[in-house]
Amino acid sequence: MANKSVFASMKGPLSPAGTARNLAGAPAYTYSDGHALAQIAMTGTFGRTVYQDPMQELSRTLGLARKVDPSFLAKAAIYTRKQGHMKDMPALLLAVLSARDPILFRQVFGRVVDNGKMLRTFVQIMRSGQAGRTSLGSAPKRMVANWLIDAPDRAILQANVGNDPSLADVIKMVHPKPGNAAREALFAWILSKPCDIALLPDNVQDFLRFKKTGKGRLPDAPFQMLTQLDLSTMHWAQIAETASWQMTRMNLNTFLRHGVLALPKMRRMIADRLRDPDLIARARVFPYQLMTAYQAMSAEMPEEIREALHEAMELSVRNVPKLQGQIVVAPDVSGSMAGPVTGYRKGATTATRFVHVAGLVSASVLRRNPQATVLPFEVTVRDIRLEPRDTVLTNAARLAALGGGGTNCAAPLEWVLEKGRTPDLVIIVSDNQSWAHSKYGNRGTVMMQAWEKLKQRNPKARLVCIDIAPYGTTQVKDRADVLNIGGFSDTVFDQIAAFAGGEMGPDHWVGQIEAVEV
């Protein structure tokens, strides 16, 4: 008779064994190469995080970018730029593509490099040597030169803001041949060479005139050019008057500092702009951007502006779906979620942390689905009561304040099992670095085992794991009832709704990238 302590009958379904270890050293599952590249590209920012430094992230990204098919690499570069609104990542993928498939590179260049800042970022990455070459090479050099020749004057002026490399550096590298005397004069002015002032764009001439005399109305020039000048409060009010929605959001403290918000008429105008539903829709505002603006606001910010941002947040989450059935949303509030969402970057570390994003996603779901149960977790589920009628920013801040402790991604599922609940949809928002379990076992991750038990109670249940950190492993394997998705853009909400409604399978997220036309 075989030893029953070794060969005892297993109860319940057999979970797939873990295929990897996460960065915390616990069992986990890997993604396919395409999914892994998509996940890191939609969340990676090359900043230092709790579990990895920028060079480790870069090494993983480059390894994946060189393993996937060049066609997928091209589509991922476009998707992460257009849908994810990422910056460094799509430029890096494009740089790798330039060596792997020059023809595809030329086809997609203009869809990834869609403004001057992206152009300079691409050149910086190419020059660094990290993408496999230390010079631009003939095809990249030609594409950069063509962009400089064909771009509108306004785009050239926007590109002329910033250094390392400056636009002058880029022009010196690629030697673009201007198609007319006006563009030749503009390049000469950027290079600080003699030029015919009369051939420069009108707004550049106005800028030079205003810079010299300080008189008249402000020129129609990029914001960063105007800030170089000695401006009065009324000049700053003129800047605020013509600012876009996004520029307004990003410069509230600047307007406050220069006295613009002390002017009642301007304060009302800016508040009205911030909460204008048409402008919010046109600006494609992410809830995450509003949270960052709110957190960065000076303590002296007028209450009218604070309230306007609260209203803007409520409007920005209108596309969060109303979901059917019992909903559980579980934000990870453990210690590893305390790091800044864009990583630690010297001089550019954001106040918005991973836990803020997790709290924001959860509060947004609750706002649109008041019946949802919110289960913040670390080693165990934390006890908190949220009011669905409170603003999204208020509830997100309450969740973020719970931060600390180890990570047990199985905790919300274990809580549900213990309470006898049978949810139809569970949404987990985490960095997936789960380790603080009572046991590991040899039948897959603890979270996978808990999910199997929950599925026995409700076979129709679905699980969405939103991975918001660029670490590359998950606690629950992809399958028909499990969707692993990376990122924190507003497209995540659309995909949750489609998956919950049975309109897409677990591979649909990567399928969206595959569907990009090149």
Going from the C-alpha of 331 to that of each of 153, 432, 474, the distances in angstroms are 46, 11, 15
Top-ranked range on mean pLDDT: pick from 62-71, 291-300, 307-316: 62-71
Q: By mean pLDDT, which of 188-197, 328-337, 405-414, 490-499 is the weakest?
A: 490-499
Could you tell me how many helices (H) and strands (E) the chain has, helices first? Answer: 25, 8
Quick one: which of 454, 460, 392, 387 has its CA closest to 421?
454
What is the reported pLDDT for 502?
80
pLDDT category at 497 given cuts 50, 70, 90 is confident
Rounded distance between C-alpha atoms, residue 480 and residue 502, angstroms:
10
Span 51-108, pLDDT tens digits: 888 899 999 999 999 999 999 999 999 999 998 888 899 999 999 999 999 999 999 9
Q: By mean pLDDT, which of 2-11, 178-187, 384-393 is the weakest?
A: 2-11
Give me the phi and psi of 153, to 5 degrees please: -55, -40
Rounded distance between C-alpha atoms, residue 3 and residue 14, angstroms:
20
| For the chain, domain boundaries | 20-24+319-514, 86-214
Dihedral, CA of residue 47, residue 393, residue 283 and residue 343, to nearest 10 = 0
Domain boundaries 20-24+319-514, CATH class: alpha beta
Going from the C-alpha of 258 to that of each of 58, 207, 442, the distances in angstroms are 40, 20, 62
Span 329-384, pLDDT tens digits: 999 999 999 988 777 777 777 778 889 989 999 999 999 899 999 999 999 999 99
What is the reported pLDDT for 437?
76
Say if residue 492's pLDDT is above 60: yes
Rounded distance between C-alpha atoms, residue 384 and residue 221, angstroms:
50
**Greater pLDDT, 276 or 163:** 276
Q: Whole-model pTM?
A: 0.88
Q: Where are the beta strands (DSSP E) in 289-431?
A: 327-331, 373-374, 425-430
- What's the rounded mean pLDDT across residues 197-216? 89
Rounded distance between C-alpha atoms, residue 199 and residue 181, angstroms:
7
Task: Report the percent of the chain where pLDDT is more than 90.
Answer: 59
